[in-house]
Structure formats: C-alpha cells, structure tokens
Chain A
Amino acid sequence: DTGVSQDPRHKITKRGQNVTFRCDPISEHNRLYWYRQTLGQGPEFLTYFQNEAQLEKSRLLSDRFSAERPKGSFSTLEIQRTEQGDSAMYLCASSSPGGVYEQYFGPGTRLTVT
C-alpha cells in the first residue's frame, strides 16, 4: 500500500514565477482532491476529479490556478504568476468510489513565494 504521494515536498519560488505540483493517488481510488492549508487553519477545498473529469472548483481557485488529471491517475496543479498570498501547504487526497468520506491525504507540498 503506497498511499498518496506528492512531489515536490517543498518549493520556494519568486513572485511571478509559475509552479507545478504533482499528486499520485492510491491506485484504486477514482476521486482525487486538492486542498490548500495555511498556518493555523484547516484544509480548504480547491477542486476535485472523478476519474479524469474535474467536477467542481472552489471560488478560491482563481484563474491563475489550473488542475488536470489527464488519464484519471495522477494529477497536476499549476499556479501561474505566483503571488505571496499563494504561500501555503497544498494537499492532495484520494478516495474510493464507495467511500468519499474516507479521504486519504498525501504529505503535501509546501510552497513559499518570496
């Protein structure tokens, strides 16, 4: 059981640069979620996929953010023209078809925008 993996674990970038994060879910899970967590807060929902279809996006996800899951397996989250306010932990989670309330999280990617 390999669990949910995320890459990179840490990313430091300068304001205005683009960054891309990758998430590999648990292999039999068809749902994949992205969350953002800032210090002292719980994770906040950004978007989720069922297989390759992106079913919902939060209003937190501005036009600078885009997520893909092209073959229904791994997913990428790209942030264009990063801003200091984008500094956060970006978490990925996955769940099985019958257990959407049992979401299993990866270790997260910590983004620092300088």
Chain B
Amino acid sequence: QKEVEQDPGPLSVPEGAIVSLNCTYSNSAFQYFMWYRQYSRKGPELLMYTYSSGNKEDGRFTAQVDKSSKYISLFIRDSQPSDSATYLCATMNRDDKIIFGKGTRLHILP
C-alpha cells in the first residue's frame, strides 16, 4: 500500500461548480498535510497546509483533514478555468520528508 493514494483523474467539471479532490494516507503518525497545485511543465506551488485534523479556508479553497479515517480533501468553490491544473496532496513523515500522491488532473470547462 502506497503511503498516499490519490485518484489521478482526469476530473472535468463546468466553470462555477464546486470541486472536491480527495486523498487517503496510510500512516496515522502523519501530522502535516499539504495541497500543491502544478501547472503543466511547471514546479508545484504550495496552496495550503493543515496541521492535524480540521478545516482550513483560504479564499475559494478549503482543506479538510479527517485523521480518524485518514482522509484529506480539498474543495474549490466557484471554480475557474485558471484552476485547471494537477493537484497534489502530500503529507510529511517523521523524518521531515514530504510524501506526495500521484496528483489529480483537473479540467474546468468554460
């Protein structure tokens, strides 16, 4: 079992819809959870991070962690064509190494 599992998609939604992106992880010791956005042929860009369980909101983006089910979510409200990218979930292990999921390709259709 991989440490972070993520459905690669692609996921296509119409502009203005709410997008839900999800990951699961295997190690209950993980404490930090991150979401990165990566445009084609660019480096990943940190969107937001959360510590332990709970929600964190930043503009149209909300990150949610449920440690009881080892489930990580990212919600995007009022999605825009510029949100079209690959979204990578990630967590950090005890050795301060970030472990990434495969990424979900998201297409927002105008």
Mark A residues whose CB is within 8 Å of B. 4, 6, 33, 40-45, 48, 56, 91, 93, 100-108, 110
Contact = CB atoms under 8 A, between A and B. Distances in A.
Interface of B: 4, 6, 8, 32, 34, 36, 41-46, 49, 88, 90, 92, 95-103
B96 A42 contact: no
A107 B42 contact: yes
B97 A108 contact: no
B39 to A, nearest CB: 10
B46 A42 contact: no
A41 B102 contact: yes
Contacts of B36: 105
B42 A101 contact: no
Contacts of B8: 40
Contacts of A91: 43-44
A103 B103 CA distance: 17
B97 A56 contact: yes
A42 B100 contact: yes
Nearest to A58: B97
A108 B43 contact: yes
B95 A108 contact: no
